[in-house]
Structure 1
Amino acid sequence: MSTTATVELLAKDLNDQGGVFCPTPKAGMQLWNTHPRVYLDVAKTGEARCPYCGTTYRLKAGEHFGAAH
């Protein structure tokens, strides 16, 4: 079993849609030995949790994605 972790991200770490994929090297994971690749929308609420491994991806305090509408 893996332990849950929190990965703090900068806005520049997000893709153009405001998300990231898990697993990711940013969380110390090797793609070949973890779980299927899933897309997580971090920009929507400022954080997202992977349903497979429980890793939480969170925007670092003060970071904002995109322009205010």
Structure 2
Amino acid sequence: MPARAERRLLREDPEATLTAALANGNHYINDYCFVFELRDGLIHRVRECVDTARGHRMIFGEVPQ
């Protein structure tokens, strides 16, 4: 019988904000959310969700259209 998988968004603090100083002196700040997949009460997989477009803008600047 295959193990049952559950997905849970932890209520304690599944979100984090990453801040860093980039090599060019600019600041990076972006929010992250983590989704934990459990199997038999143990962490099986962790998924990280982030705004990649915002991260790209913070590192490389606006993209010309």
- TM-score normalized by the length of structure 1: 0.27
- TM-score normalized by the length of structure 2: 0.28
- Relative to its length, the structure with more strand (as a share) is 2
Structure possessing the higher radius of gyration over alpha carbons: 2
Higher RCO (Cα < 8 Å, 6 or more apart): 1
